[in-house]
A and B are shown apart, each in its own frame.
Chain A
Amino acid sequence: MNGPLVRIRFDGNGGTYRPGDTLSGEYRIESVPANEVKAVEVSVLWYTEGKGDEDLAVHDFWRRSADDGDFDLRRPGRFSTILPRSPLSYRGVLVKIRWCVRVRVFLTRGREVMGELAFKLGDVPAARAPLAAALRVQERRELPVAKAVLA
């Protein structure tokens, strides 16, 4: 028997967005009786991965709860938000910034189930490991020296 499932889907291109774009989509909760869902939280957030401790910031957040009179929380829900100008998604060596939509479903008896769908904000290319090779002194751009004192 399958356990509870959370399915998330983006409208449109499905993955890469620019700052100021509207991110919208839909989530569904499956394989769980209606009376077992106590609350649903939807967050559009970024978190860091890599060597450092994790940082997390929520850009947008919605919560539906049975306590607020929402009796069938299994109904598919929609989300929509305008994406911020930063931080952009980044795949560095020590630091990675990942954006995602996270849906957390709170069930009876303290159980939780979570679904997450990543997307990319901006198109910053991945950083490469130490670029010692980039020390090449070429492509030097020099304006006429104004007051250089030479020997």
Chain B
Amino acid sequence: MSLARNFRIVPKKRGNRSTGSKVWGKVIECALSAAALVAGAIALVVVLVKVVIPEWRVNHQFVEHTCVVLQTRLAKQEGADGALYRPEARIQYSVNGETYVTWTYSIRGRYAASRAEVEKILQSLEPGEEYTCWYDPADPSVAVLVQTYSWWSWLTLAIPGSFILIGIGGVVHSLMTWGKSAERQAAIAQRTAHGASFDPSRRSLPDFPHVPKPASITDSPGTTLAYRLPSVTGSGWKLLGGAAACLGWNGIVALFACVAISGFLEGRPDWLLTVLLIPFLVVGGGIIVYFLRYVLVASAIGPTLVEISEQPLHPGNHYELFVSQTGRLRVKSLEVVLACEEQATFQQGTNTRRESLRVLEQPVYRREQFDVRHGVPFEARCLLEVPAGAMHSFKSEHNEISWKIIVKGEVDGWPSFTRSFPVIVYPPSNGSNGNHKR
């Protein structure tokens, strides 16, 4: 018998089983989303009214006209990073018999940091000369000497736009999940994913829910056995990353080294720079050595191939395994193991962390002291047994149980290497740990 759960005084924070007040949680979530929506809407109106619409009106609604420049001046304003400038011209023009005199240049009247550019603009405006201007038909006292669009004014729309989208999304999510339990939400999501019915006998369920599909590891046929297993060493990416790190670090250090060397050559040595450079040079040298060693290991220890007689695997069953190692090596030991790992992903503050733990490592094959000759790969066959009581492969959003075949090698004169080949273990069809030998 089960009794109603007593709620804790100190709430559990993580996971859907959090014991904080759900009503208040929803209220706060909805309020924050609504606040983002309102703030975004206000910001959008401000950007439209102050920036976008005035510029659009100048380009589409203002009336082209002529004016006389009476006077020019360099307007100055003190900004946080120093003085800012803008051009200003006193112009005179007549509309419908009425004469207007005003200081103007562009509609935004934005200040810029470059005094030289502003002075150049002012030099192009000769007092007493006639120029084209554009005036506002709704208020003829407003006129400009240039029609411009600032690209950044359109870009600023993205800021209130993103607030509005986040706000709408949050409010819609809050309203859709309001009063719905975690189970009901999960049921609705699964109903959407697997068809309308929630009757397990009628809906289209996967054969083994939350067990990864074997498609990605069974699409490569083997030459000796049925399937060749893909490797997850990612040596190509490691090589690329190593090359980028090596070039990046040593490129920057080389620039400073050039400065230091030129100082010595000119008879003005910078001893502080030279001393500070030494540890950076040492690290750079270390990166080069590590990278070259990695390249040599990758090229000298050839690829490892693993093939298996059947996929997916089932607990308690035996499978034939074929291992091939190329290269030109004096191998101290080559070992094949079957491993099961648990992986957990969790939020820690604002970071997403992933932890992994090997909970089972079963020896499959081991050979010691042998040579691999160039062009003649080492090849071996062995039997792999999946333990009878083993947990099947499992994958959900934050948790995973994965199986892999690991080949570990120790080679004379080289660092040891490890290569992993994922496999998928299915649950036994009756759920028991039956040890049905094949």
Query: When the two chains form their complex, are residues A104 and B211 in contact, meaning their CB atoms are under 8 A apart?
Result: no
Kindly state whether residue A33 has any CB partner on chain B within 8 Å: no
With both chains docked as a complex, state the minimum distance between the C-beta of A19 and any C-beta of chain B, in angstroms. Answer: 4
Query: When the two chains form their complex, are residues A137 and B431 in contact, meaning their CB atoms are under 8 A apart?
Result: no
With both chains docked as a complex, state the minimum distance between the C-beta of A106 and any C-beta of chain B, in angstroms. Answer: 8
- Give complex CA distance A56, B209 in Å: 13
Contacts of A135 in B (CB 8 A): 337, 361, 363
A5-B4, A93-B342 known; A124 vs B14 contact (CB < 8 Å) = no
Contacts of A12 in B (CB 8 A): none
With both chains docked as a complex, state the minimum distance between the C-beta of B309 and any C-beta of chain A, in angstroms. Answer: 11
- Give complex CA distance A124, B386 in Å: 13
- Give complex CA distance A143, B381 in Å: 6
- In the complex, which residue of chain A has the Cβ closest to the Cβ of B388? A125
Query: When the two chains form their complex, are residues B16 and A56 in contact, meaning their CB atoms are under 8 A apart?
Result: yes
- In the complex, which residue of chain A has the Cβ closest to the Cβ of B182? A56
Q: Can you report 19 A-B residue pairs in the complex whose CB atoms are below 8 A from each other?
A: A3-B4, A5-B3, A7-B3, A19-B431, A53-B14, A57-B186, A85-B427, A86-B426, A86-B427, A87-B394, A94-B355, A104-B183, A115-B5, A125-B433, A127-B391, A136-B363, A142-B383, A143-B381, A150-B370
Query: When the two chains form their complex, are residues A150 and B430 in contact, meaning their CB atoms are under 8 A apart?
Result: no
Query: When the two chains form their complex, are residues A85 and B183 in contact, meaning their CB atoms are under 8 A apart?
Result: no
Query: Within the complex, which residue of B383, B385, B396, B429 is in contact with A48, where a contact is CB–CB below 8 Å?
Result: B396
Mark interface residues in A125-151 (1 if CB within 8 Å of B CB, else 0).
Answer: 101111110111111111111111111
Query: When the two chains form their complex, are residues B2 and A8 in contact, meaning their CB atoms are under 8 A apart?
Result: yes
Of the candidate stretches B126-134, B153-161, B168-176, B200-208, the one touching chain A is B200-208
A57-B186, A57-B190, A87-B209 known; A140 vs B355 contact (CB < 8 Å) = no
How many residues on B have C-beta within 8 angstroms of the other chain's C-beta atoms?
Answer: 86
Contacts of A116 in B (CB 8 A): 2, 5
Query: When the two chains form their complex, are residues A143 and B382 in contact, meaning their CB atoms are under 8 A apart?
Result: yes
Query: When the two chains form their complex, are residues B198 and A60 in contact, meaning their CB atoms are under 8 A apart?
Result: yes
Contacts of A104 in B (CB 8 A): 181, 183
What 10 A-B pairs come out closest when comparing CB atoms?
A52-B344, A54-B15, A55-B396, A61-B187, A122-B431, A18-B431, A51-B344, A43-B183, A117-B2, A19-B431
Chain A positions 37-76 with a Cβ under 8 Å from a chain B Cβ: 41, 43, 45, 47-48, 50-61, 63
Mark interface residues in B370-402 (1 if CB within 8 Å of A CB, else 0).
Answer: 111100111111110100011110101111110
Kindly state whether residue B270 has any CB partner on chain A within 8 Å: no
Query: When the two chains form their complex, are residues B198 and A4 in contact, meaning their CB atoms are under 8 A apart?
Result: no
A95-B400, A145-B380 known; A8 vs B1 contact (CB < 8 Å) = yes
- Give complex CA distance A3, B320 in Å: 61
- Give complex CA distance A93, B361 in Å: 15
Contacts of B380 in A (CB 8 A): 142, 145-146, 148
- In the complex, which residue of chain A has the Cβ closest to the Cβ of B384? A141
Query: When the two chains form their complex, are residues B431 and A85 in contact, meaning their CB atoms are under 8 A apart?
Result: yes
Query: When the two chains form their complex, are residues A94 and B342 in contact, meaning their CB atoms are under 8 A apart?
Result: yes
Kindly state whether residue A78 has any CB partner on chain B within 8 Å: no
Contacts of B262 in A (CB 8 A): none
Query: When the two chains form their complex, are residues A115 and B183 in contact, meaning their CB atoms are under 8 A apart?
Result: no
Query: When the two chains form their complex, are residues A56 and B208 in contact, meaning their CB atoms are under 8 A apart?
Result: no
